[in-house]
Amino acid sequence: MTEQGAQWLYCYRTMNRPFAHDLAAEITDRSARGIAAAVGRMITAGTLPVGQRLPTVRDLAGQLGVSPTTVSEAWQSLAAVGAIDARGRQGTFVRQPTGPASPRRYRRVTEGPGHFALDLSTGTPDPALLPDLGPVIARVSRQSLTSSYLDHPVLPDLEAHLRADWPFTPDDLTVVDGAMDALDRVASVIVRLGDRVVVEQPAFPPLLDLLDQLGADVIGVPLDREGMRVDLLTTALQHDVRAVFLQPRAHNPTGVTYTARRAKQLAAVLAPTDTIVVEDDHSGDIASGSLVSLGTHLPHRTVHIRSYSKSHGPDLRLAAVGGAGEVVSAAINRRLLGPGWSSRILQAVLLEMLDHTPTIEAVTRARHEYARRRAAVTEVLAAEGVSFTGTDGINLWMQVADERSALLTLAAQGIGAAPGEPFMVQPDVPSLRVTVGLVDHDPAGLARRLADAAGTVPARAGQR
């Protein structure tokens, strides 16, 4: 190296170290995940503005007392969401986050090894138990529904019906294109790069992918029989948590339904904070359990999502979003710059179905049939000593001795199941999600195959 080059390097390192020291002082969690989250929060807050040159991996590692590999992993996480830009010898710079391209968890669940004679990996309802849309569509086709692009996004009669059936009085309410569309729009309003958010452990993989794309610092809080554990949520809230995402009934994948007591306990813990609660009631009327909502206690800080895909038809692509006015109104206003509204024809179909006696009866039959199928499978699993969770919904979460081995054992018999790993925020007991709502014949025989695939797993307290 020339003398001039050595002088330049000395000056660069001398100037860079104080910045590395200041940056290190803001980082309390010195794991790769903690470093990425802390730097992400500083980018979001503007403390690290777009264009800011970051310390070298070696300098920051030295200030933090960690290995350069740890900082390098943090930088890779930030680069994956487009928050930083490595330019070789020029250095690494803060940029406007863009988000990664691949929903890796979702793909892990949906991209199985091939076609199965009985695919129980999907998490979808049984088409044979869905209401008949034919008569309803025929009646709706004679209606005139849209006169202007400036019409209200929600049909007035549908909005009135939804408000009357909402678990609490919403500040604002709208209709979007399904539960994931709702989660996407709500999360995009409230979550910024580096924000801490709490989800249930295990959680719905597409939600975890979405939060990853937003650059959130995700904290998983386990469930017990009544819902999210209060003690562990209390611990998580010792940090600044922006939002809590939960499923109040027929939790996917565990089948847990929240009790009124647990909702009240969680609301009491959340009350002193500014944390937003986002509830995804994805199963709707096919869930056997009663709906409880934290919105009855925290109405101005709760956003409730009600999906009609599993109960009335996936192709309706409709979900209602209501609750905290600041959040819902922001989502509505942002949507005006995109699709504007969900099809009023589909809204009219849904409205007709909600008041249509044959449809109501069909949904009731489906709810009872799903409960019967689940009970028939779990009765055998319990007798075989297989640990599982929950009592509600179309999905079953069962523990296995080895996840890969269990999947291969089932696949060899033409049975598909979803691997448990994509549902996990942090590693946990090996498990599978099985959509038992699709088991329309010989549930006992299927349960024995599941038990065989599970292997020998000691039951844990509170799992059944």
User: pLDDT tens across 215-225, in order?
Assistant: 899 999 999 99
Interval 122-176: pLDDT, tens: 999 999 999 998 888 888 876 666 555 667 889 999 999 999 999 999 999 999 9
Domain CATH number, residue 396: 3.90.1150.10
The arrangement of strands across the sheet holding 396-399 comes to 388-389, 396-399, 431-434, 418-419
Same domain, 422 and 331: no
Residue 174 lies in a domain: yes
Domain boundary at 71, 94, 117, which? 94
Listed in sequence order, the residues at least 6 apart from 439 whose beta carbon sits closer than 8 Å to its beta carbon are 118, 120, 373, 376, 377, 446
Number of residues that make up the chain: 464
Q: Flag whether the pTM goes above 0.85.
A: no
Q: What is the pLDDT of residue 417?
A: 95
Interval 354-399: pLDDT, tens: 999 999 999 999 999 999 999 999 999 999 999 999 999 999 999 9
Domain count, the chain: 3
Buried b (16+ CB within 10 A) or exposed e, 158-187: bbebbeeebbbebbbbbbbbbbbbbbbbbb
Same domain, 176 and 240: yes
Cβ–Cβ under 8 Å, residues 79 and 85? yes
Same domain, 311 and 414: no
Handedness of CA 432, 109, 222, 309 (dihedral sign): negative
Same domain, 215 and 348: yes
Query: What does the H/E/C string look like for 288-355?
Result: CCCCCCHHHCCCCCEEEEEECHHHHCHHHCCEEEEECHHHHHHHHHHHCCCCCCCCHHHHHHHHHHHC
Interval 247-290: pLDDT, tens: 999 999 999 999 999 999 999 999 999 999 999 999 999 999 99
Domain CATH number, residue 164: 3.40.640.10
Residue 146 lies in a domain: no
Residue 209 lies in a domain: yes
Residue 462 lies in a domain: no
Chain centroid, CA 232 distance in Å: 19
Q: What distance in Å separates the CA atoms of residue 27 and residue 330, rounded to the nearest whole number?
A: 32
Q: What is the pLDDT of residue 378?
A: 96
Q: What is the pLDDT of residue 84?
A: 84
Domain CATH number, residue 64: 1.10.10.10
Residue 144 lies in a domain: no
Same domain, 166 and 304: yes
Same domain, 285 and 383: no
Listed in sequence order, the residues at least 6 apart from 434 whose beta carbon sits closer than 8 Å to its beta carbon are 120, 377, 395, 396, 397, 398, 417, 418, 450
Same domain, 177 and 272: yes
Residue 142 lies in a domain: no
Same domain, 296 and 233: yes
Interval 315-356: pLDDT, tens: 888 999 999 999 999 999 999 888 888 988 899 999 999 999
Domain boundary at 305, 324, 354, which? 354
In terms of residue numbers, what domain contains 48?
3-94
Residue 89 lies in a domain: yes
Same domain, 272 and 234: yes
110 to each of 405, 419, 422, 436, how far by Cα in Å? Answer: 18, 10, 11, 17
Domain boundary at 354, 379, 401, which? 354
Same domain, 347 and 395: no
Cβ–Cβ under 8 Å, residues 221 and 235? no
Same domain, 249 and 347: yes
Same domain, 291 and 369: no
Residue 381 lies in a domain: yes
